[in-house]
């Protein structure tokens, strides 16, 4: 997208606003598919938690993607977007048995990640096939906050609990149709990921009726110029060869599944905010925008680095700015960042804002959540309206006369 297109969107739809480029999403989907083109059965299940707007879900469905969901609400959104139940896999963590049963009743694929629920579900519904999430105790990423395959993770059944797992499967006579792992985001070392895959292959040998093996996702995307990223083509070649070998050993063509979220939508997203104030202190120049971590929490939560471009003055002289928000709390987007000279009223563009950005937005400080716009075939389409004051009050109940002080009646003489 051109900077002029983004500026026009703020003119048309206001700011702050999230913008998603469909061409980038499609190219990322095709890139990942092509990297594994030697696998006979490949299924990409888009991770809805990354960006769950219905328009994005409908686009993924049109591309032929399945859907990875982590809540019953995401399951229902997927069905509303047109996904067939069998194309949705439900991979929750720490939810009740009742929620899992509700998802199963909708016909979606079930993925269970703990022995307690596995035993309860298998004992009650032995005829419903189940996938099992394994924790391989391998970290393939560099950030412990987003790596979930380590030994202290709350996710998955430990590989050391496989004997117990097999005992539950045998006693309940349940059918296991898939094995799954997810090492976490920002996969940097392909060899480490392949090592974790070998653990998954070894686990899969214990089950004779598998239909698929799900390797999760977590492919790293570049966040700035020269940034490292997962080499998808190298991973595709190496894992495809090993997967095809395993299928021959297993005696059956299985489906190789992934659940990409960030890889598909992160680089397609732009967050646009207007500069309210440029404030000089004794040591810092602050550029304060009409947003905060209520709209984009990743820098404060994960230390995420989002490249910031002054699209109102892209050729201006570079100066150092700390970009902050309007929340009554520390909400820093960037410290001492070189950005083209900023004036009040300029529009700043935060790149890589497609994944885990709007979906993590809140109404903190009673601020409204921003609008969302889809850039499709050279046109901007509003796909979520900006919130209003009515939205803040929508589910609140005004208890009439609760704190009103009654008038003292004059004493009778």
Catalytic residues: 328
Phi and psi at residue 89, to the nearest 5°: -110, 135
Q: Please, are residues 289 and 332 in contact by the beta-carbon 8 Å criterion? A: no
Phi and psi at residue 111, to the nearest 5°: -125, 115
Task: Provide the Cα torsion 353, 339, 285, 355; round to 10°.
Answer: 10
Q: How many CA atoms lie within 13 A of 296 on its CB side?
A: 33
**Tokens, residue 262:** 């960030």
Separation between Cα atoms, residue 39 and residue 67, nearest integer Å: 20
Give me the helix-helix angle, 232-250 and 190-204, nearest 10°.
20
- Cβ-based neighbours of 159, under 8 Å, separated by 6 or more: 134, 135, 136, 137, 199, 203
Q: Please, are residues 130 and 122 in contact by the beta-carbon 8 Å criterion? A: yes
**Tokens, residue 305:** 């680095």
Q: Please, are residues 343 and 279 in contact by the beta-carbon 8 Å criterion? A: no
- Cβ-based neighbours of 256, under 8 Å, separated by 6 or more: 36, 39, 41, 42, 43, 212, 213, 215, 239, 240, 243
Q: Please, are residues 362 and 391 in contact by the beta-carbon 8 Å criterion? A: no
- The candidate with the shortest Cα–Cα distance to 295, out of 271, 278, 266, 265, is 271
- Angle (CA) 131-254-136 rounded to 5° is 50
Separation between Cα atoms, residue 189 and residue 235, nearest integer Å: 10
Separation between Cα atoms, residue 413 and residue 192, nearest integer Å: 91
- The candidate with the shortest Cα–Cα distance to 367, out of 298, 315, 290, is 290
């Amino acid at each position: 997208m051109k900077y002029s297109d983004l500026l026009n969107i703020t003119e048309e739809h206001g700011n702050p606003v999230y913008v998603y480029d469909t061409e980038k999403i499609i190219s990322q989907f095709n890139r990942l598919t092509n990297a594994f083109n030697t696998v006979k059965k490949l299924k990409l299940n888009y991770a809805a938690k990354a960006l769950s707007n219905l328009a994005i879900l409908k686009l993924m469905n049109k591309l032929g993607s399945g859907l990875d969901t982590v809540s019953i609400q995401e399951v229902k959104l997927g069905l509303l977007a047109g996904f067939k139940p069998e194309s949705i896999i439900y991979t929750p963590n720490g939810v009740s048995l009742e929620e899992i049963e509700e998802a199963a009743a909708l016909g979606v694929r079930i993925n269970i990640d703990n022995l307690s629920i596995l035993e309860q579900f298998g004992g009650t519904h032995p005829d419903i096939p189940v996938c099992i999430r394994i924790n391989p105790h391998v970290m393939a990423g560099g950030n412990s906050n987003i790596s979930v395959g380590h030994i202290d993770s709350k996710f998955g059944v430990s590989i050391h609990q496989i004997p117990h797992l097999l005992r539950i499967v045998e006693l309940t006579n349940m059918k296991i149709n898939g094995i799954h792992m997810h090492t976490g985001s920002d996969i940097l070392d392909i060899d480490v990921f392949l090592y974790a895959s070998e653990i998954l292959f070894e686990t899969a040998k214990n089950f004779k009726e598998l239909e698929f093996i799900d390797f999760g996702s977590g492919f790293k995307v570049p966040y700035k110029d020269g940034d490292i990223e997962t080499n998808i083509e190298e991973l595709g070649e190496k894992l495809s060869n090993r997967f095809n070998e395993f299928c021959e050993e297993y005696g059956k063509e299985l489906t190789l599944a992934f659940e990409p979220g960030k890889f598909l939508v992160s680089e397609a997203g732009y967050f646009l905010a207007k500069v309210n104030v440029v404030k000089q202190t004794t040591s810092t120049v602050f550029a304060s925008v009409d947003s905060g971590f209520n709209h984009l929490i990743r820098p404060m939560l994960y230390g995420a680095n989002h490249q910031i471009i002054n699209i109102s003055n892209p050729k201006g002289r570079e100066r150092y700015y700390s970009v902050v928000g309007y929340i009554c709390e520390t909400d820093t987007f960037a410290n001492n960042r070189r950005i083209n000279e900023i004036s009040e009223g300029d529009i700043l563009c935060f790149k890589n804002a497609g994944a885990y950005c709007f979906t993590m937005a809140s109404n903190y400080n009673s601020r409204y959540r921003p609008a969302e716009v889809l850039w499709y075939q050279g046109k901007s389409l509003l796909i979520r309206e900006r919130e209003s004051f009515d939205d803040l009050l929508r589910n609140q109940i005004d208890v009439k006369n609760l704190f009103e002080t009654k008038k003292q009646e004059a004493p009778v003489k």
